[in-house]
C-alpha cells in the first residue's frame, strides 16, 4: 500500500509539481524494481535513513580513512551485510567512495545492475527527506512493499563510459554524465530525470542560463555549488 | 557561468566556505540555508533560523525552490559519487580556471 506524501505541515505551500513527483517516487519505492523486490527496496530505504544515526557510519565519517574502520552497522533490516554497508556508505559519506571500493563490491557481492538500482533508491529517499527537513516537515512514512517479481531486464548497449558503472550512451553529447549515471537501470534513470526536472530544471533547460524560478538561476547555482562543496562532491 | 552570461559577476570563494560575499542577491542567506540543511554543524534551531531568514528574503516560493535545489543536489551528489561519474569533457575544458580558483581538483584526488 502506498503512503501519502504530505507537505501539509510545511510553513509554505509546496509547488504541486514537486508534491506530485515526490508522491510518484514514493509509490515506486514500494513496487518491485528491475533487480530488487519491493520489500528489498523498502529495506534499502529504511537503511538509508538508519545511516544517519549509525555509530559505525559516524566513526567512519570522523576517521582519516573510512576504509580503516571496521565494525557492524546499526542495521534495521535483514539485507545482506554488503548491501547494508553500501547503502550506509552512500547515505553517510558519499564523497569518499572509491573506485576500488566499487570494484570489490561488484566483484564479490552485488551485481552492477542491482548496485545502480540501490543508488536510485538511496537518492530518492535522500532527496525527499532532505527537502522535508529543509522545510521543517516530518519525515514521510515509508510505504508498505508490494508483492511481485523484479523485471530483471538489462539494457543492451551499456558500457563503461564516463562512470565506474556501465551506462547507456546519450544521443545528445551535451547530456551531462551525471544524467546518464543510472541508465544501466532505465527506470531509475527516468525517475531521476523526473525528480531533477521539478527540483532543479528539465534537461532541455539546463543551458538556458536566463531560466529562473522564484529564485534566479545564479541563486540556484550558488545553492547547488555550496551543497556539493559540503558533500565534497567533485563533480 | 550563469552569472557571467547574465552580466552579473559573482564571487565563488564563499561556495568553498571562505566567508566572503558572493555578489549574488541574498547570497549570505542562501548559503546559510544550504549549510544548515546539509552542513555538519548546528541543529534544528540553526535550520529554523536560516529558513526564516531566507523566507524573509526570497519569499515563500523562493524558499520552496531553495529547499528543492538543496535536496536535489544532496541526492545528485550521491549519484555522482556512488557511480564514479567523471566530469564531462566540455565541462572540464570550460572550468579550468574556476576549479583552480576554488581548489576543487583536490576533491577529485580523494576518490583515487
ipTM metric: 0.95
Residues 6+ apart with CB under 8 A from A62: none
Q: How close B75 comes to chain A (CA, Å)? A: 5
Q: Which of A126, A162, A219 to mutate to test the interface with B (most CBs of B within 10 A)?
A: A219
Instruction: Average the pLDDT over each of A77-91, B17-31, B59-73, B95-109 and give the range with the smallest value.
Output: B95-109
Q: How close B112 comes to chain A (CA, Å)? A: 6
pLDDT digits (tens, 9 = 90+) for A169-199: 988 877 889 999 999 999 999 999 999 999 9
For residue B15, list chain A residues with Cβ-Cβ distance below 8 A: 222, 225-226, 229
pLDDT at B112 over 50: no
What is the reported pLDDT for B98? Answer: 62
Q: How close B42 comes to chain A (CA, Å)? A: 13
pLDDT at A235 over 70: no
- With cut-offs at 50, 70 and 90, classify the pLDDT of residue B41: low
Rounded mean pLDDT, B90-101: 66
B13-B18-B23 Cα angle (round to 5): 45
Closest among A135, A35, A154, A170 to B55, alpha carbons compared: A135
First and final C-alpha spacing in chain B: 28
Rounded mean pLDDT, B41-51: 83
Rounded mean pLDDT, B60-81: 97
Name the residue in chain B with its Cα closest to that of A18.
Answer: B68
pLDDT digits (tens, 9 = 90+) for A195-230: 999 999 887 887 777 778 999 998 999 999 999 999
Asked if B10 lies within 8 A of A218 by C-beta distance, the reply is yes
Nearest-by-Cβ selection for A181 from B6, B27, B85: B85
Asked if A224 lies within 8 A of B73 by C-beta distance, the reply is yes
pLDDT at A148 over 50: yes
- With cut-offs at 50, 70 and 90, classify the pLDDT of residue B110: very low
Which tops the pLDDT comparison, A76 or A176? A76
pTM for the full predicted model: 0.90
pLDDT at B109 over 50: no
Give contacts of B 50-69 with A, CB under 8 A: 51, 55, 58-69
Do residues A220 and B24 make contact, with C-beta atoms less than 8 angstroms apart?
no
Cell of B49: 533560523
What is the reported pLDDT for B89? Answer: 77
What is the reported pLDDT for A109? Answer: 96
pLDDT at B104 over 60: no
pLDDT at A63 over 70: yes
Q: How close B104 comes to chain A (CA, Å)? A: 7
For residue A181, list chain B residues with Cβ-Cβ distance below 8 A: 79-80, 83, 85
What is the reported pLDDT for A61? Answer: 93
Instruction: Average the pLDDT over each of A90-104, A179-193, B30-44 and give the range with the smallest value.
Output: B30-44
Asked if A200 lies within 8 A of B72 by C-beta distance, the reply is yes
- Counting residues of chain A whose pLDDT is more than 70, the rounded percentage is 99
Which tops the pLDDT comparison, A25 or B2? A25
For residue A222, list chain B residues with Cβ-Cβ distance below 8 A: 10, 15, 22, 24, 27, 30-31
Residues 6+ apart with CB under 8 A from A94: A231, A233, B77, B78, B81, B82
d(CA B93, CA A186): 29
The DSSP code for A52 is: G
What is the reported pLDDT for B111? Answer: 44
Instruction: Average the pLDDT over each of A28-37, A95-104, A168-177, A192-201 and give the range with the smallest value.
Output: A168-177
pLDDT at A2 over 50: yes
Which tops the pLDDT comparison, B102 or B32? B32
For residue B61, list chain A residues with Cβ-Cβ distance below 8 A: 12, 15, 213-214
Amino acid at each position: 500500500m502506498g503512503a501519502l506524501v504530505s507537505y501539509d505541515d510545511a510553513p509554505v505551500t509546496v509547488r504541486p509539481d514537486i508534491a506530485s513527483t515526490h508522491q510518484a517516487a514514493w509509490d515506486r519505492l514500494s513496487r518491485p524494481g528491475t533487480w530488487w523486490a519491493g520489500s528489498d527496496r523498502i529495506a534499502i530505504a529504511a537503511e538509508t535513513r538508519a545511516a544517519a544515526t549509525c555509530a559505525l557510519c559516524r566513526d567512519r565519517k570522523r576517521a582519516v580513512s573510512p576504509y580503516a574502520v571496521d565494525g557492524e552497522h546499526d542495521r534495521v533490516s535483514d539485507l545482506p551485510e554488503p548491501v547494508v554497508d553500501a547503502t550506509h556508505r552512500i547515505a553517510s559519506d558519499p564523497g569518499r567512495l572509491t573506485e576500488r571500493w566499487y570494484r570489490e563490491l561488484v566483484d564479490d557481492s552485488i551485481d552492477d545492475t542491482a548496485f545502480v538500482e540501490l543508488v536510485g533508491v538511496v537518492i530518492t529517499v535522500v532527496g525527499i527527506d532532505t527537502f522535508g527537513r529543509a522545510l521543517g516537515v516530518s519525515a514521510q512514512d515509508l510505504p508498505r512493499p508490494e508483492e511481485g517479481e523484479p523485471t530483471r531486464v538489462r539494457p543492451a548497449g551499456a558500457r563503461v563510459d564516463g562512470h565506474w558503472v556501465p551506462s547507456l550512451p546519450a544521443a545528445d553529447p551535451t547530456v551531462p554524465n551525471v544524467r546518464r549515471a543510472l541508465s544501466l537501470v532505465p527506470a531509475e534513470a527516468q525517475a531521476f530525470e523526473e525528480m531533477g526536472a521539478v527540483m532543479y530544471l528539465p534537461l532541455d533547460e539546463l543551458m538556458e542560463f536566463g531560466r529562473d524560478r522564484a529564485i534566479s538561476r545564479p541563486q540556484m547555482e550558488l545553492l547547488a555549488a555550496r551543497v556539493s562543496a559540503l558533500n565534497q562532491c567533485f563533480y | 557561468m550563469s552569472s557571467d552570461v547574465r552580466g552579473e559577476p559573482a564571487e565563488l570563494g564563499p561556495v568553498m566556505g571562505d566567508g566572503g560575499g558572493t555578489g549574488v542577491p541574498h547570497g549570505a542567506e542562501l548559503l546559510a540555508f544550504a549549510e544548515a540543511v546539509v552542513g555538519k554543524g548546528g541543529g534544528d534551531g540553526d535550520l529554523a533560523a536560516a529558513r526564516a531568514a531566507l523566507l524573509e528574503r526570497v519569499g515563500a516560493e523562493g524558499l520552496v525552490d531553495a529547499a528543492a535545489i538543496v535536496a536535489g543536489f544532496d541526492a545528485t551528489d550521491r549519484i555522482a559519487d556512488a557511480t564514479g561519474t567523471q566530469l564531462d569533457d566540455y565541462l572540464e575544458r570550460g572550468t579550468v580556471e574556476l576549479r583552480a580558483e576554488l581548489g576543487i581538483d583536490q576533491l577529485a584526488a580523494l576518490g583515487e
